[in-house]
């Protein structure tokens, strides 16, 4: 399980929009309060002092603060959608592995790469030796190249076509899923209230768009401590679009 990073703004007791001067004052105030010299023998105060110093080091640097704010906003957005967070971590891990692989190939000596080449590399090699080596490889690979060509001219094999489910069945499944979601939301499930609000706000999965109803469900979820619902309430536009703006 991944350990969550502490909220640096909460450690310094400042809002997320604090200026550098406000951050500096908050750091001095917290450092004076939890300094080890003033709290001798208090392990909790010493640990809090280290966290406050780390928070000021990150938030005091403009680039580090921008990266931290992006990660903090992403964690709030995916707080109640772990499947999306896991998908995002997988994508970041794949991109990091690809960059590491390219860097490793660039650091590999050129002589090692030539060792695994198709033809041996020599600075002084007669042309007829190279021609014989090429002829050998062509004669060895020719049967494997010609075999798929002979198969392609034969009668085509019947393809099994994947049948899509009928529209009535799809609509019935969507209606059943929506009914279960509405029942769970009415019972007080905060995650169901969050997802029902998403459906009503976007008008997806056959649900008619109703932003005012989405706001009501998000307010109920936020009242139960759902951070994602509180984020959508703060950043989403709940004014109903006019008929002219909805035309393609």
Does residue 168 register a pLDDT over 80? no
- At 131-165, the pLDDT tens digits run 888 888 888 887 777 765 444 445 555 565 556 66
- In-domain check, residue 56: yes
Tens of pLDDT, residue by residue over 102-122, are 777 777 655 444 544 454 445
pTM: 0.34
Residue 15 lies in a domain: yes
pLDDT over threshold 90, residue 22: yes
**Residue 73, domain CATH:** 1.10.287.110
pLDDT value of position 89? 55
- 206 domain-assigned: yes
- Domain of residue 214 covers 169-239
Q: Which residue has the higher pLDDT, 247 or 71?
A: 71
* In-domain check, residue 32: yes
> How would residue 3 be classed by pLDDT, with cut points 50, 70 and 90?
very low
Position 225 in a domain = yes
- Among 77, 105, 135, the domain-final residue is 77
Write the DSSP string, the chain.
-PPPPP-HHHHHT--TT--HHHHHHHHHHHHHHH-TTTSTT-HHHHHHHHHHHHHHHHHHSHHHHHHHHHHHHHHHHTTT-HHHHHHHHHHHHHHHHHHHHHHHHHHS-HHHHHHTSSS---SS--HHHHHHHHHHHHHHHHHHHHHHHHHHTSPPPPP-PPPPPPHHHHHHHHHHHHHHHHHHHHTT-HHHHHHHHHHHHHT-TTPPP-HHHHHHHHHHHHHTT-HHHHHHHHH---SPPPHHHH--
Residue 242 has pLDDT above 70, yes or no: no
What is the total count of domains within the chain?
Answer: 2
Q: Is residue 124 part of a domain?
A: no
């Amino acid at each position: 399980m991944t350990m969550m990073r502490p909220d640096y703004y909460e450690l310094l007791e400042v809002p997320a929009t604090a200026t550098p001067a406000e951050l500096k004052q908050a750091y001095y105030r917290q450092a004076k309060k939890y300094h080890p010299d003033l709290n001798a023998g208090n392990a909790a105060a010493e640990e809090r002092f280290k966290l406050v110093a780390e928070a000021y080091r990150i938030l005091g640097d403009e680039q580090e603060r921008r990266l931290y704010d992006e990660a903090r906003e992403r964690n709030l957005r995916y707080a109640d959608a772990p499947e999306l967070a896991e998908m995002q971590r997988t994508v970041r891990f794949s991109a990091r592995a690809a960059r590491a692989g390219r860097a490793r190939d660039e650091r590999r000596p050129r002589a090692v790469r030539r060792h695994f080449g198709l033809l041996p590399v020599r600075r002084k090699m007669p042309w007829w030796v190279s021609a014989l080596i090429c002829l050998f490889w062509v004669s060895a690979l020719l049967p494997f190249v010609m075999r798929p060509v002979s198969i392609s001219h034969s009668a085509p094999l019947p393809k099994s076509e994947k049948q899509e489910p009928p529209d009535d069945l799809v609509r019935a499944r969507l209606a059943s899923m929506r009914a279960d979601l509405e029942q769970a939301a009415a019972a007080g499930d905060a995650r169901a209230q969050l997802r029902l609000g998403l459906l009503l706000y976007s008008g997806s999965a056959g649900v008619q768009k109703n932003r005012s109803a989405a706001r009501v469900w998000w307010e109920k979820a936020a009242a139960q401590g759902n951070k994602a619902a509180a984020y959508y309430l703060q950043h989403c536009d709940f004014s109903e679009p006019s008929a002219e703006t909805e035309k393609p």
